[in-house]
Amino acid sequence: MFALRMATYLLVAPTLAGIFVIALLTANVVSGTYIAIAAAAGAVIGLPVAWVLAGHLNRLIQQR
């Protein structure tokens, strides 16, 4: 299960970080500090998202 959570995190965290950075750039916020904070926030928020998503995936896998 830990490997599934880590694999999910490796996909979710950069996706969320990219979404947050793109949102800042769309709002015309081009400060390096804000972009770094948004990327770090995506990595931190990715932890619980990956945990929940891996749990759902594990249940789907175990049903077979």
pLDDT single digits (tens) 8-56: 999 999 999 999 999 999 999 999 999 999 999 999 999 999 999 999 9
Q: At what angle do helices 2-26 and 32-62 cross, to 10 degrees?
A: 140
What tokens does 61 get? 């896998």
Q: What is the pLDDT of residue 21?
A: 97
Q: What is the pLDDT of residue 1?
A: 83
Dist. CA 29–CA 57, nearest whole Å: 36
**What is the 8-class DSSP label of residue 28?**
T
Q: What is the pTM of this model?
A: 0.88
Strands (E), 1-64: none
> By the 8 A CB rule, do 51 and 6 touch?
no
Q: What is the pLDDT of residue 53?
A: 96
Q: What is the pLDDT of residue 63?
A: 84
